[in-house]
Chain A
Amino acid sequence: MVKQRFQIFGVHAILIAYCALALGPILLVVMNSFKTRNAIFGAPLAPPTATTFSLIGYMKVFNASHIGTYFMNSLIVTVVSMVLVLLFGAMAAWALTEYKFRGSTALALFLSIGIMVPIRLGSVAILTMMREADLNDTLTALILVYIAQGLPLSIFILSEFIQQIPRDLRDAARCDGVPETRIFFEVIAPLLRPAIATVAVFTIVPIWNDLWFPLILTSSDSTHTITLGVQQFLGQYITDWNSVLAALSMAILPVVAIYVVFSRQLISGLTAGAVK
């Protein structure tokens, strides 16, 4: 009994410590975004009080910059990339697990290389390619890169899930006369919802947070994303911390919102009752 209680205590202590470690910096950013400049430097760890509370950062961000455009760009790039990664990923995973065709194994291996090799290694090639395709400084360029970045892992995860869907279910649909595309969209895809939610979260977070590709592929204000937009408050000689922290705090919100939406879908057990 006593030993068990110690174990539970130990596990929780570790979890709480980890939680604090992960949430600490975020909490610090959000807290300081509501403080005056002097308070940020004077007592960075203190929460905002009546005297130090200030919305100056948010006001500056809204008035002085293209924050609305940046937000919109980030949103478009993330959502479009996510939808296409999920759609193409699920379709490719279905094709690779369900149909055996010439070179299917080679194709699967080729795609799994994408998981191991970071896409940033190809930055220079990507930049040249985009310039030659006349896609430089467009959101399309970012979307294409993010689809390439997200596909391998999503195919890998979804393939595993598709393999767990009982074979009989597809066979039953085939006997029922359901066309192959409908089998995928109306029988398989609904059962993949928990997997799709997982992949969606895995896909969204790195895209939303990415600084590298917006930095090298976009140059005008109209195509900047939020992470890149924040950089304009970080100067070589002077940094507007109020604005930086306010912009960052706002940038966190969509990711949290998307996570909340999808976490309800993460509940599995949807296949209960399909087969014994």
Chain B
Amino acid sequence: MADLRIDRLNKSYGTAHVLSDIGLSIDNGEFVVLVGPSGCGKSTLLRMIAGLDAPTSGDIRIGGKLVNALAPAERKIAMVFQSYALYPHMDVRKNMTFGLKFTGVKPVERERRVAEAARMLRLEALLGRYPRDLSGGQRQRVAIGRAIVREPDVFLFDEPLSNLDAALRVSTRVEIARLHRLLGATMVYVTHDQIEAMTLADRIVVMNHGRIEQVGKPLELYYSPADLFVAGFIGSPAMNFFPAEVESIEDGSARIAGDSIAPFVLPAGTLKPGAAVTIGVRPEHLTPAAEGDFATAGVVELVERLGEASYAHVRRADDKMTVAEIRGRRTPPPGERVQLSAPAADIHVFDADGRRVTTGP
């Protein structure tokens, strides 16, 4: 068990900066998810923690020890790969024990660990099989088992569920969460799937263009995204954005207006008169009602029915699309004009640079 500290980490290939000034502190036993669009550098960061890639500059400490110059095996980490990376010519038992031979674990101890991991992951019946005879989910469980038997300080997961089908993804996700509770180990998990991030993480690290955009608890990111990128990335369907302007400020209240929204008043906070802002409202906070602190309108173009809710895609005055979640059995038919509104508490305001503006007291 150990904590993980990353300090001003940089990685560049020639002139291309893959990671810029990454600083991150992960506590012992914490489950941290690195999330971001493909190419944001999250896998590179994980590979550098593992020791598979060398950083251009910066420090990585595991359990207080500087590990920059250590080989992967000396860092007391274990990694689970997206492609499982099982040794194809070894059976499940051998796959799990192969690495232990070289780290000085005695045969009796090896057997004990394999038995325990197999019990934990329900692999007992598969120990004699070869990877080619296993299903995708079983293979991934073997890969996780191979990580467990190493008894590492830090577990690293590189998109472990991406190759599984939807149903298996959900059950394996639950399995990983259960495992984290059971082992209490520090885990770093890379994914591009925000549902995995939201459900598994103690803290989420949102990355974009090789930088950390925001670090926070899942609901913190959901309720107070630091910038437009995080706001748009976390939540599905994505947050709706409306360009607007601060018309005036009177008695601590800002009057905000835009092409596609009805003028409304917010506590001014740090807003300045005449400033261009972006208003963000999540689809699930928009309700079809004429009354509300925030209001917009448009023509329904398409309705997606999921059962527990429907998503209405509405074309608004500035010709952009807005998505609203509609609960209940009645959904507006395409072509109908609808009024959508949201309470002031669910409105996010971002300044011209895309940073969140704190409004209200």
Note whether A and B form a binding pair: yes
Q: Which residues of A contact B (CB under 8 A)?
A: 166, 168-169, 171-179, 182, 186-187, 190-191, 270-276
A174 touches B73 (CB 8 A): yes
CB contacts (< 8 Å) of A171 on chain B: these are: 47, 50, 52, 72, 79, 81, 85
A191 vs B131: C-alpha distance in the bound complex, in angstroms?
Answer: 14
Given known contacts A177-B99, A182-B102, is B79 in contact with A273 (CB within 8 Å)? Answer: no
B79 touches A172 (CB 8 A): yes
Please, could you name 26 A-B residue pairs with CB atoms under 8 Å apart, sorted by A? A169-B87, A171-B81, A171-B85, A172-B146, A174-B52, A175-B50, A175-B72, A175-B79, A176-B146, A177-B73, A177-B150, A178-B98, A178-B102, A182-B102, A190-B89, A191-B88, A270-B88, A271-B88, A272-B88, A273-B134, A274-B85, A274-B87, A274-B88, A274-B131, A275-B85, A276-B83
A154 vs B146: C-alpha distance in the bound complex, in angstroms?
Answer: 34
CB distance from B91 to the nearest CB of A (A): 11
CB distance from B119 to the nearest CB of A (A): 21
Chain A residue nearest to B143 in the complex (CB): A172
CB distance from B159 to the nearest CB of A (A): 11
Pick from A168, A187, A191: contact of B81, CB below 8 A. A168
B99 touches A176 (CB 8 A): yes
A21 vs B308: C-alpha distance in the bound complex, in angstroms?
Answer: 73
CB distance from B220 to the nearest CB of A (A): 32
CB contacts (< 8 Å) of B98 on chain A: these are: 173, 176, 178, 186
A168 touches B73 (CB 8 A): no
Q: Could you tell me which residues of chain B, from 71 to 121, have a CB within 8 Å of some CB in chain A?
A: 71-74, 77-79, 81-89, 98-99, 102-103
Q: Which 3 A-B pairs have the closest CB atoms?
A: A176-B99, A273-B132, A177-B73
A166 touches B132 (CB 8 A): no
A240 vs B77: C-alpha distance in the bound complex, in angstroms?
Answer: 73
Question: How many chain B residues have a CB neighbour from A under 8 Å?
Answer: 34
B72 touches A174 (CB 8 A): yes
CB distance from A203 to the nearest CB of B (A): 24
CB contacts (< 8 Å) of B146 on chain A: these are: 172, 176
19 new A-B contacts, CB < 8 A, other than A172-B85, A275-B84, are: A168-B82, A172-B81, A174-B73, A175-B52, A175-B72, A175-B77, A176-B98, A176-B99, A177-B102, A178-B73, A179-B102, A187-B87, A270-B89, A273-B88, A273-B130, A273-B139, A274-B83, A274-B85, A276-B136
Given known contacts A171-B81, A172-B79, A176-B73, is B86 in contact with A274 (CB within 8 Å)? Answer: yes
Q: Does any Cβ of A come within 8 Å of B163's Cβ?
A: yes
A211 vs B88: C-alpha distance in the bound complex, in angstroms?
Answer: 42
A173 vs B84: C-alpha distance in the bound complex, in angstroms?
Answer: 12
CB contacts (< 8 Å) of B130 on chain A: these are: 273
Pick from B73, B89, B133, B139: contact of A175, CB below 8 A. B73
Q: Which residues of B contact A (CB under 8 A)?
A: 47, 50-52, 71-74, 77-79, 81-89, 98-99, 102-103, 130-134, 136, 139, 146, 150, 163
A272 vs B132: C-alpha distance in the bound complex, in angstroms?
Answer: 6
CB distance from B84 to the nearest CB of A (A): 6
A178 vs B73: C-alpha distance in the bound complex, in angstroms?
Answer: 8
Chain A residue nearest to B129 in the complex (CB): A273
A275 vs B81: C-alpha distance in the bound complex, in angstroms?
Answer: 10
CB contacts (< 8 Å) of A186 on chain B: these are: 98
The residue among A174, A177, A191 with the most chain B CB atoms within 10 A of its own CB is A177
CB contacts (< 8 Å) of A176 on chain B: these are: 73, 98-99, 102, 146, 150
Chain B residue nearest to A193 in the complex (CB): B89
B163 touches A276 (CB 8 A): yes
A174 touches B71 (CB 8 A): yes
A177 vs B88: C-alpha distance in the bound complex, in angstroms?
Answer: 18
CB contacts (< 8 Å) of A177 on chain B: these are: 72-74, 99, 102-103, 150
CB contacts (< 8 Å) of A270 on chain B: these are: 88-89
A169 vs B47: C-alpha distance in the bound complex, in angstroms?
Answer: 14
A174 vs B85: C-alpha distance in the bound complex, in angstroms?
Answer: 12
A230 vs B133: C-alpha distance in the bound complex, in angstroms?
Answer: 52
CB contacts (< 8 Å) of B88 on chain A: these are: 191, 270-274
A263 vs B88: C-alpha distance in the bound complex, in angstroms?
Answer: 21
A272 vs B131: C-alpha distance in the bound complex, in angstroms?
Answer: 8
A273 touches B133 (CB 8 A): yes
Pick from B79, B83, B89: contact of A191, CB below 8 A. B89
Chain A residue nearest to B75 in the complex (CB): A175
CB contacts (< 8 Å) of A274 on chain B: these are: 83-88, 131
A175 touches B131 (CB 8 A): no
CB contacts (< 8 Å) of B89 on chain A: these are: 190-191, 270
Chain A residue nearest to B134 in the complex (CB): A273
Given known contacts A175-B73, A175-B77, A176-B73, is B85 in contact with A169 (CB within 8 Å)? Answer: yes
CB contacts (< 8 Å) of B103 on chain A: these are: 177
CB contacts (< 8 Å) of A271 on chain B: these are: 88
CB distance from A96 to the nearest CB of B (A): 20
A190 vs B88: C-alpha distance in the bound complex, in angstroms?
Answer: 9
A276 touches B84 (CB 8 A): yes
A12 vs B78: C-alpha distance in the bound complex, in angstroms?
Answer: 55
The residue among A173, A271, A274 with the most chain B CB atoms within 10 A of its own CB is A274
CB contacts (< 8 Å) of B81 on chain A: these are: 168, 171-172
CB contacts (< 8 Å) of A172 on chain B: these are: 79, 81, 85-87, 146
A10 vs B134: C-alpha distance in the bound complex, in angstroms?
Answer: 43
Chain B residue nearest to A165 in the complex (CB): B88
CB contacts (< 8 Å) of B84 on chain A: these are: 168, 274-276
